Amino acid sequence: MVQLLPVFKGFTVDVKLKQFRRVKKSTIEFSDFDSEQGEKLLCKYIENLNIKNKKEKKILLDLL
């Protein structure tokens, strides 16, 4: 089964690999959660999660 990963501010969020990824033309930009850019994106992403939504609550729990 194919699982669609969430997208936040143009980045695909991969919780298992702990990365944000964005494709621009022929390049792929990676930002690990523990990088400076990744930490900023992750904080904003967590702030925007709706924990009343089961899918988003699971994402938050996976991040912990």
What is the rounded distance in angstroms from the CA atom of residue 58 to the CA atom of residue 51? 8
51 lies in some domain: yes
- For CA atoms 10, 24, 22, 31, the dihedral sign is negative
Number of compact structural domains in the chain: 1
pLDDT for residue 21: 96
Print the domain residue range for 20: 7-63
55 lies in some domain: yes
**Hey, what are 16's tokens?**
């298992």
Give 12's strand partners: 7, 21
CB atoms within 10 A of CB 21: 15
pLDDT in tens, 8-48: 999 999 999 999 999 988 999 999 999 999 999 999 999 99
Query: What pTM did the predictor assign?
Result: 0.85
pLDDT for residue 2: 83
Beta pairing class for 19-24 and 7-8 = unpaired
**Hey, what are 48's tokens?**
């925007």
